[in-house]
Amino acid sequence: MKRVTITALISVLLLFASGINAQDLKFGHANVQEIMQAMPEFKEMQKQMETEYSQLENQLATMQEDYKTMEQDYMQNAKNLNAVDRQQKEQQLMQTSQKIQGFYQSTQQKLSQKQQQLQQPIMEKLRAAIEQVGEEGGFIYIFAENSGATVYQSDQSVNVTPLVKKKLGIN
């Protein structure tokens, strides 16, 4: 963050040195999260992710129920099994438990990758719209309002959120 602030300060100083007045500098800010959540593509991504999550959650629930059934069967019949059969059942229970844990971990990873994959074109479209608004409006910088990096925002900073939404064709 310090490096960004220093870079911005140097840029401003260079602009002053080249004869640009402070009044010519135009800064803006946009609520990127608000814009993204209003985009139809984002809403579609959320639906896809919910469907994917639901399917994987159902698979996991089925696996856990199967394990529970196996475990109950073992508990009821363990005293009637010989040592070899008991050991085989216990090993089968342990392998099934490990399989469930592995499935859970891999699904978390798959869901994260899927979300990143679906979000990338949305972010690119949003970034392009912000760049267009910046160029058309003559802004030097447009800061992400909700990124946590902006420490101060003066009244002279223009909220370009509505302009970006308009550029994307959303309300």
Report all structural domains of the chain as residue ranges with CATH numbers, in order of start. 24-168 (3.30.910.20)
Residue 153 confidence (pLDDT)? 64
**Mean pLDDT in runs of 10 for the chain (171 residues)?**
52 52 76 94 97 95 96 92 92 96 96 96 94 90 78 74 91 79
Q: Which pLDDT value is given to residue 89? A: 93
pLDDT at residue 102, as a whole number = 97
User: So what's the pLDDT on residue 141?
Assistant: 84
- Residue 15 burial class via C-beta count within 10 angstroms: exposed 0-12, middle 13-18, buried 19 and up: middle
The one-letter amino acid code at 98 reads Q
Q: Is the pTM of this model over 0.85?
A: no
CA distance 52 to 120: 18
For residue 97, give every residue at least 6 positions away whose Cβ sits within 8 Å of its Cβ, in sequence order, or none.
67
d(CA 88, CA 47): 43
pLDDT at 27: 87
